[in-house]
């Protein structure tokens, strides 16, 4: 009993008669086994593996864009505009003679930056506010959830457009606008999960042993309620990629001369049915990137399901 109390309050476990620390190594072994089981369940999901491959391809393309792209994405050749696919230009050229394939490759950088940055900002903000609302409840819960309701009242794209029109176009305004209208869902997910965890026996035991609020939140509540947030955050990266492309398609995203998939799709609208490769290649990049993150999120959902452990 003394060993249990000592370990719970952060003290060192006392050695047993054979000189070894009581229970030392058991949490590590258990955690390793859990991660091994999660990895095995994830790998069994074929779509999740495919999605992981698509996500890896997206990241490698973004990182190695200068090495992969056959041409400068900004270089114009007005003597060779709207060219058909060839050995020199694999996806043809656009109305300004720029290589479409190279611009699609460099567009992966914008997708990765916006997708990851907006997800991280929204997740951090959502976790902080969701944890406060779920654990403390009452007035704190009501205040945070009413603020979240305000953001729920605006559709993602409409709210983002308003923010961008007020702050100006660019990567940073797009990231901030998507994060600002994305944290509310994460906050509500975490709040709901914490409400079902905060009254658990192990949380009550930690309180009885004198553990502080910070320790209970970080050691007991959050680790056992964070799974839905991780799943949604992974999926939301794909949603952010589509949202960013949609904003650029509407003319309120990044700068028009920046290699970006939504801008390329918008510029190719006049060639639908005439030369479909101009819009098909960037559209395929958007779809495959989104599907990759959705498949990974679906795989994480199955892998982290406690009913399968």
Say if 37 falls within a structural domain: no
Say if 16 falls within a structural domain: no
Say if 129 falls within a structural domain: yes
Say if 188 falls within a structural domain: yes
Structure-model confidence comparison of residues 198 and 66, the more confident one: 66
Report residue 76 as tokens: 């114009």
Name the average pLDDT for the chain: 84
> Is residue 21 helix, strand or coil?
strand
Say if 85 falls within a structural domain: no
Say if 11 falls within a structural domain: no
Nearest-angstrom CA–CA distance, 228 and 236: 12
Structure-model confidence comparison of residues 234 and 82, the more confident one: 234
Residue 47 has pLDDT above 60, yes or no: yes
Say if 92 falls within a structural domain: no
CB 174 within 8 Å of CB 164: yes
Report residue 191 as tokens: 């709040």
Per the structure, the complete domain to which residue 137 belongs is given by 44-69+100-308
| Total of domains in the chain | 1
Nearest-angstrom CA–CA distance, 92 and 9: 66
CATH number at residue 146: 1.10.3720.10
Q: How confident is the model at residue 306 (pLDDT cuts 50, 70, 90)?
A: low
CB 48 within 8 Å of CB 66: no
Task: Please tell me the total number of residues recorded for the chain in this structure.
Answer: 309
DSSP letter at 272 equals T
Q: What is the DSSP string of 60-115?
A: HHHHTHHHH-SS-TT---TTSTTPPP-SSSTT-B-TTS-BHHHHHHHHHHHHHHHH
Q: How confident is the model at residue 19 (pLDDT cuts 50, 70, 90)?
A: very low
* Residue 14: predicted pLDDT: 44
> Is residue 172 helix, strand or coil?
helix
Which residues lie below 8 Å from residue 269, measured CB to CB, with a gap of 6+? 279
Residue 243 has pLDDT above 90, yes or no: yes
Say if 268 falls within a structural domain: yes
Which residues lie below 8 Å from residue 165, measured CB to CB, with a gap of 6+? 252
Structure-model confidence comparison of residues 160 and 205, the more confident one: 160
* Residue 30: predicted pLDDT: 61
pTM given for the model? 0.82
Q: What is the DSSP string of 113-146?
A: HHHHHHHHHHHHHHHHHHHHHHHH-HHHHHHHHH
Q: How confident is the model at residue 275 (pLDDT cuts 50, 70, 90)?
A: confident
Nearest-angstrom CA–CA distance, 191 and 195: 6
Question: pLDDT by residue (tens digit) across 130-189?
Answer: 988 988 878 899 999 999 999 998 888 999 999 998 888 889 999 999 999 999 999 999
Percent of the chain with pLDDT over 70: 88
* Residue 172: predicted pLDDT: 93
Structure-model confidence comparison of residues 4 and 163, the more confident one: 163
Q: How confident is the model at residue 125 (pLDDT cuts 50, 70, 90)?
A: very high
Please, which residues bridge with residue 15 across strands? 21
Nearest-angstrom CA–CA distance, 200 and 42: 28
Q: Is 251 left (phi over 0), alpha (psi -120 to 50) or beta?
A: left
Residue 22 has pLDDT above 50, yes or no: no
């Amino acid at each position: 009993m003394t060993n249990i109390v000592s370990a719970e309050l952060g003290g060192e476990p006392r050695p047993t008669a054979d000189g070894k620390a009581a229970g030392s190594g058991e949490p590590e072994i258990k955690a390793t086994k859990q991660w091994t089981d999660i990895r095995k369940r994830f790998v069994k999901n074929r779509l999740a593996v495919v999605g992981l491959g698509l996500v890896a391809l997206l990241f490698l393309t973004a990182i190695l864009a200068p090495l992969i792209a056959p041409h400068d994405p900004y270089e114009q050749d007005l003597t060779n505009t709207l060219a058909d696919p060839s050995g020199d230009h694999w996806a043809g050229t656009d109305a300004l003679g720029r290589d479409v394939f190279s611009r699609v490759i460099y567009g992966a950088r914008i997708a990765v930056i916006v997708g990851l940055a907006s997800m991280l900002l929204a997740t951090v903000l959502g976790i902080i506010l969701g944890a406060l609302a779920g654990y403390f409840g009452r007035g704190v819960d009501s205040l945070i959830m009413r603020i979240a309701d305000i953001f729920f009242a605006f559709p993602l794209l409409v709210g983002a457009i308003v923010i961008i029109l007020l702050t100006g176009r660019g990567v940073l305004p797009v990231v901030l606008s998507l994060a600002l209208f994305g944290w509310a869902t994460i906050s509500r997910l975490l709040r709901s999960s914490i409400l079902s965890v905060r009254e658990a026996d192990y949380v009550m035991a930690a309180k009885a042993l004198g553990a502080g609020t910070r320790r209970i939140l970080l050691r007991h509540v959050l680790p056992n309620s964070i799974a839905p947030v991780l799943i949604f955050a992974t999926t939301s990266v794909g949603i952010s990629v589509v949202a960013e492309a949609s904003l650029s398609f509407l003319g309120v995203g990044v700068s028009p001369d920046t290699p970006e998939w939504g801008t390329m799709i918008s510029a190719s609208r006049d060639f639908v049915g005439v030369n479909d490769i101009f819009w098909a290649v960037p559209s395929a990049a958007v779809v495959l990137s989104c599907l990759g993150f959705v498949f990974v999120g679906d795989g994480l959902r199955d892998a982290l399901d406690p009913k399968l452990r």
